[in-house]
Amino acid sequence: MAARHLVCHTFFVMLNCLSETNRRAFLEGVRAYSPTLPAMLSWGLVTGIAMSKSVLTLPQSVGMSLLVYAGSSQLAVLPLLAAKLPIWTILLTAAMVNTRFVIFSAGLAPHFSYLGFWRRTLLGFFNGDIIYLLFLRRNFKPGYEPGKEAFFLGMAALAWTCWQVSSIVGIVLASLFPDSWGLDLAGTLALIPIMVSAITSRSVVVAFVVASVVALLTFSLPYRLGLPVAVLAALIGGMSSDALIERADLRRIRRRVVAEVPDSKAEPQIDLKADVTSDSDTVIDASGVSGGQR
Amino acid sequence: MSTQAIWILIIGMTAVTSVTRAFFLFAGERVNLPERVQRALRYAPAAALAAVVIPDVLWWHNQLSFSWRNYQLLAATAGLLWFVWRRSMIETIGVGMLTFTVLRLWA
C-alpha cells in the first residue's frame, strides 16, 4: 500500500515537472494507448508463460522480458533455443522478425530529428507496432510540435509498464500449470496473427510461401542453417515478384498509351494514376492465402 | 545451451532490438537505404516468422508430420482459421489451446 502510494506520488511529481502542454499531451498519450490494453496484457501474459515453459530459467525469463522488450522475437527464438541452435542463427532470426521496426523508425525519424542523439535513441527503444500506428493516426507535422514527444512518451510509458507487469505475472504463474498442458504452444499460436497481419501484398505472399517451403526442405541441415537460407530465398523471391509485377504494370501502361495514341487529347496521367491504384490492388486479403498454404 | 550462453544471447537480442527499433532515429539523415532495400525489408518479418512457426508446428514426436494425428498442426490450423474469421489475437490463442486440449484428452 505504502509502495503504491509512493509510486503514485513519484508519478505525479514527475508529471508536475512537465509543462502544462506536455503534461496534457503525456496523459493524452496514455489515454490514446489504453483501448489496446486487453490485447497487450494477454499478449504479455502468453509470452511470459511461453518463456517460463521453455528452456529459460526464471531469472533468464525476467531478464529477457525487461531487456529485450520485443514479444514476437522473444517468442520466435524459443523453439530455436530448444533446438540448441548456435547464437548467431538465433540473433539473425530475431533481427529478421524485427526488421519491421526499421521501417517504422524511418517513419518516426522526420518527427524527432530536432532532438539530440540520446533522446532519439530513447524514443526508438519504445517504437513498436501499436505505438507507431497510433502515432501516425494523429497526423503530426514533421519537425518540432509542442507536446508531440510527450504524447509519444505517454503511450510508451503505459505500453512498457503493462507489458512488463503482464509478462512477469505470466512467468510466475506458469509454474502453476503442468507441462503436459502444452502451454508453450500458446506462444506459437500468438505468432499466427502477427504472421498473417504481416502479409500485406502479393510479393509478401510469394516471400511467405518461399520461406515456408525452403524452411521445410532444409529442415534437416545442421544448426538449422535452413532458417537463414529460407529467409534469404524469401527475400529474393519477394524482390523478383516485385520486379515481375512492376514490369507487368509498365507493359500494361505502355499498351494503354499506344492504344490511345490516335486520340491526341489522351492524357497519360490517367494511366499513371491507374498504376498507383493498382498498387493497392496488390494488398489482397490474407485469408485466402495462408489458408491454402498448409 | 549453457546459462552463460543464454545470457549472452539475451544481451545480443537486446542490442539487436534496440538497433532495429531506433535504426533511422539514430542514423539520422546520414544513412539512406535505397528504395529496393527498404522494400525487401518488408518481406523479412513474414518470411522469418514462417520459417520459425511452420516447422515448429509440424515438428511432432521428433519428426515432421503433416498427419491428422499431429494435434499441434490441428490446433494451429483451427487458430489460423479463427483469426482469419474474427481477427482477434486473444480468441486465436484460446481456440488453438482449446482444440489442442480437447484432442489431447479425448482423441
pLDDT tens sequence across A162-221: 999 999 999 999 988 888 888 889 888 988 988 898 888 899 999 999 999 999 999 887
3-state secondary structure chain A: CHHHHHHHHHHHHHHHHCCHHHHHHHHHHHHHHHHHHHHHHHHHHHHHHHHHCCCCCHHHHHHHHHHHCCHHHHHHHHHHHHCCCCHHHHHHHHHHHHHHHHHHHHHHHHHHCCCCHHHHHHHHHCCCHHHHHHHHHCCCCCCCCCCHHHHHHHHHHHHHHHHHHHHHHHHHHHHHCCHHHCCHHHHHHHHHHHHHHHCCCHHHHHHHHHHHHHHHHCCCCHHHCHHHHHHHHHHHHHHHHHHHHHHHHHHHHHHHHHHCCCCCCCCHHHHHHHHHHHHHHCCCCHHHHHHHHC
Q: What is the pLDDT, as a whole number, of residue A266?
A: 43
Q: Which residues of B are less than 8 Å from A56 in CB distance?
A: 6
What interface predicted TM-score (ipTM) does this complex get?
A: 0.88
If pLDDT is split at 50, 70 and 90, which confidence band does A48 have?
Answer: very high
Q: What is the pLDDT, as a whole number, of residue A285?
A: 34
Res A45 pLDDT > 50: yes
% of chain A exceeding 90 in pLDDT: 36
Of residues A149 and A136, more confidence is placed in A149
Res A261 pLDDT > 70: no
Q: Which residues of B are less than 8 Å from A119 in CB distance?
A: none
Res A1 pLDDT > 80: no
Is the CB of A80 inside 8 Å of chain B's CB atoms? yes
Best of A96, A200, A220 to mutate (most B CBs within 10 Å, chain B): A96
If pLDDT is split at 50, 70 and 90, which confidence band does A275 have?
Answer: very low
- Is A117–B26 a contact, with Cβ atoms under 8 angstroms apart? yes
Nearest CB neighbour to A234, from listed B1, B33, B47: B47
Cα-based distances in Å from A8 to A4, A5, A19, A153, A169: 6, 5, 19, 17, 21
What are the domain boundaries of chain A? 2-181, 199-294
Q: What is the pLDDT, as a whole number, of residue A114?
A: 87
Beta bridge partners of B86: none
Q: Which residues of A are less than 8 Å from B18 in CB distance?
A: 121, 124-125
**Which residues of chain A from 151 to 190 reach within 8 Å of chain B, CB to CB?**
180-183, 185-186, 188-190
- Is A64–B10 a contact, with Cβ atoms under 8 angstroms apart? yes
Q: What is the pLDDT, as a whole number, of residue A137?
A: 81
Cell of B9: 544471447
Q: Which residues of A are less than 8 Å from B73 in CB distance?
A: 294
Q: Which residues of A are less than 8 Å from B84 in CB distance?
A: 196, 286-287, 290-291
pLDDT, mean over chain B: 89
Res A40 pLDDT > 50: yes
Contacts of B84 (CB under 8 A, 6+ apart): A196, A286, A287, A290, A291
Of residues A238 and A10, more confidence is placed in A238
At residue A267, φ and ψ (nearest 5 deg) are -100, 115
CA distance B94 to A54: 20
What are the domain boundaries of chain B? 1-32, 44-106
Lowest-confidence range among A49-58, A67-76, B32-41? B32-41
Give the Cβ contact number of residue A8 at 10 Å: 10
**Span B56-75, mean pLDDT?**
92
Lowest-confidence range among A19-33, A111-125, A268-282? A268-282
If pLDDT is split at 50, 70 and 90, which confidence band does A289 have?
Answer: very low
Helix axes B35-58, A87-112, angle to 10 degrees: 140
Max mean pLDDT range (A11-15, A249-253, B95-99): B95-99
- Is A291–B25 a contact, with Cβ atoms under 8 angstroms apart? no
**Span A1-24, mean pLDDT?**
69
Res B31 pLDDT > 70: no
Nearest CB neighbour to B1, from listed A81, A186, A199: A81
- The number of helix segments (H) and strand segments (E) in chain B equals 4, 2
If pLDDT is split at 50, 70 and 90, which confidence band does A287 have?
Answer: very low
Nearest CB neighbour to A191, from listed B49, B75, B84: B49
Size of interface A-B (CB pairs under 8 A): 283
Give the Cβ contact number of residue A231 at 10 Å: 30
Best of B4, B11, B14, B21 to mutate (most A CBs within 10 Å, chain A): B21
The C-alpha of B73 sits at a distance from chain A's nearest C-alpha, in angstroms, of 9
The C-alpha of B67 sits at a distance from chain A's nearest C-alpha, in angstroms, of 12
Q: What is the pLDDT, as a whole number, of residue A269?
A: 43
Is the CB of A68 inside 8 Å of chain B's CB atoms? yes
The C-alpha of A241 sits at a distance from chain B's nearest C-alpha, in angstroms, of 11
Q: Which residues of A are less than 8 Å from B53 in CB distance?
A: 76, 188, 191-192, 195
Cell of B23: 535504426
The C-alpha of B40 sits at a distance from chain A's nearest C-alpha, in angstroms, of 6
- Is A105–B21 a contact, with Cβ atoms under 8 angstroms apart? yes
Q: What's the predicted TM-score (pTM) here? A: 0.74
- Is B13–A73 a contact, with Cβ atoms under 8 angstroms apart? yes
Res A234 pLDDT > 50: yes
Q: What is the pLDDT, as a whole number, of residue A187?
A: 86
Q: What is the pLDDT, as a whole number, of residue A226?
A: 81
- Is A76–B49 a contact, with Cβ atoms under 8 angstroms apart? yes
Contacts of B61 (CB under 8 A, 6+ apart): none
pLDDT, mean over chain A: 82
Res B95 pLDDT > 80: yes
